[in-house]
Amino acid sequence: MDINAAFNLIADVGFPIAAAIAGGYFVFLTMKFILAGVMSSIKSLSNIISSLDNRVKTMNHDVIRIDTLVSNVMGVKPDLDRISRADGKTDARKD
């Protein structure tokens, strides 16, 4: 946009309206910059949460496996209700 176009806009609509348009554009650019940074942070946090959820599922599976092995070695009947809750559909840590 050259200087003549800016002066023509001011002449057509008046200085307050041209200044409001310029201020609105500045606010738009500022909000766009801020939201881009926020979205980047949200995506990285989402990836972190996903990996932590995967670790919890793996640890839960390992705990169930160890519990079953220890129960078998000690000759105790394993807790079948706990094993059945560990299918990933509900929280298996209800004990």
Band (95; pLDDT cuts 50, 70, 90): very low
pLDDT digits 0-9 by tens, 30-46: 999 999 999 989 999 99
User: Could you tell me the pTM of the whole model?
Assistant: 0.54
- The whole-number pLDDT of residue 87 equals 64
pLDDT digits 0-9 by tens, 13-29: 888 888 998 899 999 99
Q: CA-CA distance, 45 to 27, in Å (whole number)?
A: 27
Q: CA-CA distance, 59 to 53, in Å (whole number)?
A: 10
pLDDT digits 0-9 by tens, 34-84: 999 999 899 999 999 999 988 988 888 888 888 888 888 888 888 777 777
Q: b/e for 26-39, b at 16 or more Cβ within 10 A?
A: eeeeeeeeeeeeee
Structure tokens belonging to residue 12:
């057509």
Is the C-alpha dihedral spanning 42, 46, 52, 53 positive or negative? positive
Nearest in space to 67 (alpha carbons), one of 78, 80, 81, 51 = 78
For tokens 């079948």, what's the residue?
A: 80
